[in-house]
Chains A and B, each alone.
Chain A
């Protein structure tokens, strides 16, 4: 399967713990995007990365959230000191270089903070 891969699919964390979400883009894609979907809300853009570069993080909360896309390995969205309001589905997408609007999504990671 050459689609976007995300893991874990489900993640349960207690308040104050750290959450690490991983994303491997579709084969041939070098652009990665993270979105968050809160219950009963649409998808909200968080961050756009290329290998070793954060290009646009205008949708990222200012504190506790960070993202990276290293030269080797998957992209990681990291949430430190999670709170209940972080409970959501987090989706990763990737796109071809020349068509950044043509985004293909992974299955998502559903984060539950208890």
Chain B
């Protein structure tokens, strides 16, 4: 079993829709949770990071962490064609926070 599971998709939604991207994990010691966006043939771009449980909002993006369920989510409101990319979740421990463990990534397409 992988430490971090992420549905690879592909996920296709119409422009303007609310998108929900999710990851589950097995190691309850993970404390830092990150979301990255990766365009084709580019490097991952850090979107948001959160510590422990709770929500964090940044513009159209909201990250949620539910540690009791070992489940994290990224919501994108008013999705745009420019949001079409692969979204990667990542997480790390407090001790050893430098070692990010990534999900496989979900490929998202926003259709105009």
Contact = CB atoms under 8 A, between A and B. Distances in A.
A56 B98 contact: yes
Interface string B81-112: 00000001010100011111111110000000
Contact of B43 (A31, A91, A102): A91
Contacts of B99: 45, 48, 56, 58-59
A88 to B, nearest CB: 13
Contacts of B6: 42
A33 B98 contact: yes
B100 A103 contact: yes
Nearest to A9: B41
B97 A101 contact: yes
A98 to B, nearest CB: 10
B43 A101 contact: no
Contacts of B71: none
A25 interface: no
B32 interface: yes
Interface in A67-100: 91, 95, 100
Contacts of A91: 43-44
A27 B77 CA distance: 33
Contact of A101 (B45, B49, B88): B49
Given A33-B100, A45-B101, A56-B96, 12 more contacts: A4-B43, A42-B6, A42-B88, A42-B104, A43-B100, A45-B100, A48-B99, A100-B92, A100-B97, A100-B98, A102-B34, A102-B46
